[in-house]
Amino acid sequence: MFDQAHRHAAPTSRPALVLLASEASQMAGPPDRRIRFGLAFGWVLVAGAFSLTSPHALAGGVLIVAIVATEVFAASDDFGSKAFSGLISMLALLLLGWAGGLVIGTGSVFIGDALLRRKPLSLVAWWAFLLAAMLTASAWSVGVTGTRTAGAWAPRAVGAASFAVFTLWTARRLRRVSEPHHIAAGASILAVIGAALAGPFWMPHVSASYAPWAGAGMGGLGVAAAFMLCDVVVASAAGWRTGGRFALAFWDEHLPILFLRYATQGVIAGVIAYWYVKDGTATLFAILVGVVTAQSLYFVYRRAEGAVESAVSALSSAIDARDPYTAGHSIRVADYATRVALHLGWSKARVEQVRRAGLLHDVGKLGVADAVLHKPGKLDDAEFAQMKRHAAVGATIVSQVQGLRLIAKIVGQDHERWEGGGYPTGLVGEAILPAARLIAVADVYDAMTTSRPYRDALPESDVLCHLEAESGRQLDPGLTAAFLRVVHEESAAGVMFCYCATH
């Protein structure tokens, strides 16, 4: 009922530059390694040859260096690499034409995915084909050098299709979850697309000094729109094949993020391309140095986040090791609560807080005596008093990890009651953090639907009736209702694939 497809990445533990050098020194290794090195080396030769023969040779060289630097910095980060390589691919498309965009853009696949991240070669081939298709669609839609555009109608058709997609998304979200931020997101995206479609009417009224910049930005936005639509079509087809119509639920959460990402990349690429034409290669070099520097800072932050995530995983594993009978309980609670948070449209940051707090909500049981923790029968008053201490103990343990102070507060509140009378401090209603109230619902659900030393798992129908009965008493009524809605939804099965949103 709460099935989820988990993607397991296998990032390298070696520094990216060391890894790159080691690949070059092991040509006599296994066939798979030689193929990976051959793909990367072949791309370098083709890209270098293209750059030397291009009218914009220096610009091509700068872009090649930028794409390699991007992938080296992002050796263990799929998501982060696409944020920067996507910008460089669109920029190559605008500066060097269709062929240049394909050559430079596919470097992210052959250098990053094949060589550094060692993805399966079948996936590397698929991703290279998909990226080439998206870049070709983008080039065709705006008529960049090397393609024959279908005419002035093509950009308008792309814009109209984008407007239709987001109109459907907005209507679906408002029908399911009518919250202000959904209204704002849908209205803002439609306003941007509408403004781009109305460009012929307002562009002539823009000041002559700003008009070229605005036009460049709109051109980049057109490239991004075609790129995104191609991604949406392929991702939907792949998901439909395995998950049917329920696979489209993937877009409920990812479509606005995808638009923001692609639109930002496209507009920035368009402006940089105009800046390069206006001021020359030195400007392009300076801008890309700034981009790569920003990327390096971003990955420093990501590595810090990775250290925090490692601490969360270690503490969660310690809970399972201490109480093997309930191993997996924290993971399930985190999964349930995360799905409901996504259903409610909570921000990415809040969803991540829910997930981490769900994993750690029972960490305080490390301070409970084995005789109490593993007792097969009912606890007496003294034992129950000791067990209740685990909420406060858990908050104290988690608060010692820098970056988890808010998570510690959530962990310390998930046994509070909506009507009061919970522990450790007896908070009431809205005084309890929303994430803690949500985890409390998920905790009750999983505790009752799994077997324990003192009883077997209860039928799910009885558990759902219990949740409804405790709504407004032990549990937050609004979050309980949302939890029950998610429980009754059918889950999408199979692969949810999107090149830049999840690749």
The residues facing 475 across adjacent strands are: 471
Residue 240 pLDDT class (50, 70, 90 cuts): low
Inter-helix orientation angle 281-322/78-105, to 10°:
140
Preceding peptide of 31 cis, ω within 30°: no
pLDDT tens readout for residues 376-390: 667 777 777 777 777
| Residue with more model confidence, 135 or 296 | 135
pLDDT tens readout for residues 301-348: 666 666 677 777 777 777 777 666 666 788 888 888 988 888 777 777
Query: Of the spans 79-93, 129-143, 469-483, which averages the highest pLDDT?
Result: 469-483
Task: State residue 420's pLDDT score.
Answer: 84
d(CA 397, CA 382): 23
pLDDT value at 29 more than 60: no
pTM above 0.75, yes or no: no
Once rounded to an integer, what is the mean pLDDT over residues 268-285? 85
Query: Whole-number mean pLDDT of the chain?
Result: 77
Residue 497 pLDDT class (50, 70, 90 cuts): very low
pLDDT tens readout for residues 437-453: 999 899 888 888 876 66
Task: State residue 491's pLDDT score.
Answer: 42
176: amino acid identity, one letter: R
pLDDT value at 188 more than 70: yes
